[in-house]
Amino acid sequence: MVALAKRKQDEFQAFYTNCNYITSYMVGLLHYQNGMSILEPSVGKGAFIEELTTNNTPNITAYELNNDSVNVLRNKYSCLSNIRIKHEDFLFPFQLTFNKFDRVIGNPPYGAYQSLVKRKQLKKEYPKFYVKETYSLFLIKALKLLKGNGRLVFIIPDTYMTLHRHECLRKELLKHYEIESIALFPSKFFPGINFGYAGLSIISIVNKVPNKTYSFPIYNSFSTPQDLLELLTEKRKKYEICRLTYSQLSKNPSSAFFLPSKNWINSILSTNNLTIGDICSVVTGFYSGNDGKYLKRLKSVTRGIKKYAIINIDDICNDDLSINPPLDGLNIPSCWIPIVKGGNKRFYKKSEWFMDWSKEAIYEYKVANKKRARFQNSQYYFRQGIGVPMVSSSSITGSLIDARLFDQSVVGLFPKKGYENLTYFLLGFFNSTVCNKLIRTINASANNSANYIKKIPILIPDAIRLNQITKEVKTLLTLAKKRDIVNNDLVTLNEYYNNMYDSKSA
């Protein structure tokens, strides 16, 4: 549950566009003329109104929820009858009773808090869209309010380009609208804001049904926010990194807007290759429901010393649990079993954490506390597979799950029947730069959830290459049991995968 203080802070997501270069570029992109009607669906303190009214006094309708901002704006613009500030929720009601607009400009709230009641209504109205993310709902609704050939310019996170949850939004755009351009830049261009890993984008869209050959430019590689203004001039070409074609985007998995800067990635993602999801079961692991009680650590582990007790070595079960997986618990005194947890370590994680696997504890996980606990995908417990942490700070990593339990912060990959001989090959793959580039193209964030991992295309090596790679991975595995693997250790391994994927130019 989100703490109350955090909710308040998230409620409006009031990050104002206090950067003149960004507002000038966006207003420049609008190409508005005198007499046109303009909508600002989340006006804040009026950054765009200020820019729009520098030389003109267009007809502006602006929405804002926040009392203070509304008061400031009403005072400021009370003498201008063509500027209407509405103290209303832009997303409600759903009926489009008002007139349509020639132009829309905005910086909508990103992930603003919605009450449960509103969220339910939104889910009903937009059943296929991801309603927890407000920016996409603002975009969808604002597009519906555009007149034919009208234009919208928004500044929003770039996550709509690749995240699985925005598939419907992408399909809607590709079917009904012409995207004129997308400019990508780091969130640090936005003064005083740090969105973590997310990049930002300025997107310009025209309400016009596109034809299949339609394409649009992606601009990138800006050094400073000032560079954005060059996009309004002939110099824009130097920032154009590619053009995306609607026909190609429609063929991409979940219609993702992959950037074809690396030809090998583009070609492998758009051909019908096998994917990890075809050859492996990709599943999340176990949660006790109360780790403070049921999880213990080795004395040498210094994380979580207040929360987790130190394991008594005699209580650890050293049996090979893969032979007869104890899914109903252990009836012996040494009933604490090793569990592989999250955290990025290549090839092998030592057994440092132990879960209570007594019959009583299992009863707790499966019955008494089953609402909080996750005794999920248990058919994979104690099998041999590969664990990939759900979040990776820099590169994706994989480590061996050998006859151990794995927790819910790890995605477990277990080769399906007929592909068991690929375990070491896959372990190497999930530590390779090729795999990292593929998953970061499929999903730009640091998130490696099962849905993204399943989509990674996988090439199966011939027997000779499989032997070579397996041997190299086994060497690295042995090394990883002694010390951390560093990038230099991975040179030969990366070469194997680069050759297979023809990605040397990457």
Ligand X SMILES: C[S@@+](CC[C@H](N)C(=O)[O-])C[C@H]1O[C@@H](n2cnc3c(N)ncnc32)[C@H](O)[C@@H]1O
Where do contacts with ligand X occur on this chain (CB under 6 A)? 12-17, 42-44, 47, 63-66, 69, 89-91, 106-107, 109, 112
Q: Which residues contact 3 (CB under 8 A, 6 or more apart)?
A: none
| Nearest residue to 29 (alpha-carbon basis) of 160, 154, 172 | 154
- Judged by beta carbon, residue 59 or residue 69, the one nearer ligand X is 69
d(CA 405, CA 387): 10
Residue 186 preceded by cis peptide, ω within 30: no
Which residue's CB atom is positioned nearest to ligand X?
44
| Nearest residue to 190 (alpha-carbon basis) of 252, 110, 136, 270 | 110
Residue 121 Cβ vs ligand X, minimum distance, rounded to whole Å: 12
d(CA 286, CA 306): 22
What is the strand order of the sheet 384-389 is part of? 280-284, 410-415, 384-389, 399-402
Residue 88 Cβ vs ligand X, minimum distance, rounded to whole Å: 7
- Judged by beta carbon, residue 52 or residue 112, the one nearer ligand X is 112
- Judged by beta carbon, residue 205 or residue 458, the one nearer ligand X is 205
d(CA 112, CA 114): 6
Residue 12 Cβ vs ligand X, minimum distance, rounded to whole Å: 3
- Judged by beta carbon, residue 97 or residue 213, the one nearer ligand X is 97
Q: Alpha carbon of 114 to those of 11, 41, 164, 264: distances in Å?
A: 7, 16, 21, 42
Six token digits for residue 390: 């759900």
Residue with token string 């704006």: 73
Residue 14 Cβ vs ligand X, minimum distance, rounded to whole Å: 4
Residue 120 Cβ vs ligand X, minimum distance, rounded to whole Å: 15
| Nearest residue to 326 (alpha-carbon basis) of 381, 376, 368 | 381
CB neighbours of residue 142 within 10 Å: 22
- Judged by beta carbon, residue 29 or residue 244, the one nearer ligand X is 29
Residue 13 Cβ vs ligand X, minimum distance, rounded to whole Å: 5
- Judged by beta carbon, residue 43 or residue 490, the one nearer ligand X is 43
365: DSSP letter: I
- Judged by beta carbon, residue 157 or residue 338, the one nearer ligand X is 157
Residue 316 Cβ vs ligand X, minimum distance, rounded to whole Å: 52
